[in-house]
Each structure stands twice: as structure tokens, then as C-alpha cells.
Structure 1
Amino acid sequence: MDTRDRDNDCPFDAEAIRSSEFAGTDHFAAIYNVAPIVPGHSLVVPREHLTSLLDLDPSRQAGFFGFARHVTRFLLAEFSATGFDWIIQDGQDAGQTVCHLHLHVIPRWKGDLPEPGDWYTRLRLPLGETGNGPVDSRARTRLSEEKLQTVVTTLAGRIRAWAS
């Protein structure tokens, strides 16, 4: 399948992400993770269905990472975070479970894990061993639709105010 074709089952295609989108451009969207690992855990996704970062047109790469930088700065301020992780799992062997390019933006705080680098070793541990499970695990606790909408509406209003 051409990775640029729309995948009707993709949870990140336009219609599917509207309810969790809190910021966007013509080409990219920031969505709140329906099963966040920590408060603020969000995703930056292209609106075009692309499977891999390598499929992103070079003319759009600066826009993707520029938008991700903008979203990250906002999340750092909004959640009083002191650091962040950016994670792209590109390909099944890298742990990608949703075949649509997405960048995890995960706010971090001092002491949120026993060691700052422990994040990486926890990516593949089963749910019971970390309390959270793998980054893209469908087994993680999902926010209720009501809670998700409350968070998204709040973030959407605050990022508009923050950006102006």
C-alpha cells in the first residue's frame, strides 16, 4: 500500500483525531493522547496519512518539527514540566503500533522516574511491571470521552491564549 493513501482504519486520520485535537496547522495536528503516560502526553501527527518519517516530504520536515517545538514549549509551560521526551517509533521493529507517523511529546519532571533514563527501558515492559505499559499499548488506561473532551477543550483555549 502506498503510505500516502488514506487508511480508513487509522486512528490518526482526519475524522478520527478531531475529538482529541487541541492545536493544528494546515498540515499537522497536536492531539492529546487518549491513554497518557503522564499528564500532558500528546502526539504531533501529519494530517496526510504517512507511515514513516522517511515518507514526510522534505519540504514539510521543518514545518513538522517547528510545530512540534511550538507544542512542546506550550506543554512545558502548561504542565510546569522541566524536561521532555520526543519519541518516534518508526517501523514495527521499533515498536510502532499505529502505522501513521506520530511524534510523542511527553513532559517530564525531576523524580518522575527513579532515573531519568529509565523511560527508555520501560517502553517495552508489560503493563503490570511499570504501571503504564509500552508507549503505544492499547492496554493502558484510557481517558473517558468526557475527561478527554475536558482536557482537549482546556488545552485548545490555553494554547490560543499562550500563542498570542
Structure 2
Amino acid sequence: MTTSPTTCPFCQRIQGGETLLDRDRVVAIPDASPLNPGHTLVVPRRHEPDFLALTPDELRCAFQLVGELRALLQERYAPDGFNVGANIGAAAGQTVDHAHLHIIPRFKGDVEEPRGGLRWIIPERARYWP
């Protein structure tokens, strides 16, 4: 999974101007395989594989952009909710070696049972309610 800024698909998309929102340290780009309409990624400009290794300023900028993106997606798609999450490392399912946050608009009825949200990444352990 190791990539460099020259081979990283996110770095290439950022350099190509393929952004929804563009800020000093972070950008928002549409997910290439969206789970729902409006599924977007918040990506730091700096090529860093580990989201938790971002600088405090990069993290602040990323979460500030999440707020801006939420307003934009709310206006465009009127979702009923959102999932926000990061896959950090191959064991957690990270497939692109560049830190990023997924912002996934959710709609009533898009899955049969939405309770538990992100907990379903490990289905056998997800259900904690009676």
C-alpha cells in the first residue's frame, strides 16, 4: 500500500484541481466509489498515510472543513444524517496510502437497520442492543 506523492491517486486529484472545497491545508474531493450521493473525502494536502500523524493544525483544518462540507452536502442532498470516519492502516481497511476522512450522507431507508453505524465494520460485534 505504500505510495509516494507522485503515484498517490489523492495527490494526483488534488494537483489536477479535482476538488469540491479547497482550503490551505486540506481539500474535499468526491469519493471515487461513493456509497451514497455526496460521499466525499477530506484529504490533507500533505502526503501523510496516517490520519493520526497529521499535525494539530492539519487536524483542526480537516474538522473545520468537515463542518463546511456538511453544510454544502445538506444543501445539495438533504440527507437525514452523516457518517464520518477514517480507516487508518491496512488492518483497518485503508486502501489509499494518504490520510483522509470519509463524509457519507445517510438517508432514511438506505439500509434496513442503521443502528450501530460504524460499529458494523466488525459485524459479529456490532449489535450491542437487545
Displacement of 1:48 in angstroms is 0.4
**Separation of aligned partners in 1, 2:121 and 2:21:** 26
TM-score normalised to structure 1 length:
0.65
**Separation of aligned partners in 1, 2:69 and 2:115:** 23
- Structure 2, unaligned stretches of length 5 or more? 124-130
5 Å-filtered alignment, 1:69-108, equals 69-108=67-106
Letter in 2 for 1:62: R
Aligned to 2:38: 40
Displacement of 1:117 in angstroms is 3.3
Aligned to 2:18: 20
Displacement of 1:12 in angstroms is 0.8
TM-score normalised to structure 2 length:
0.81
Letter in 2 for 1:40: G
Considering only aligned residues, what root-mean-square deviation do their CA atoms show, in Å?
2.4
SS at match of 1:45: strand
**Percentage identity across aligned positions?**
36
Letter in 1 for 2:40: S
Q: After superposition, give the CA deviation of every residue in 1:58-85 in whole Å (9 maximum; x if it has no partner).
A: 1332111111111122112210101000
Moved over 6 A (4+): none
Aligned to 1:128: none
Aligned to 1:10: 8
Aligned to 2:114: 116
- Structure 1, unaligned stretches of length 5 or more? 126-164
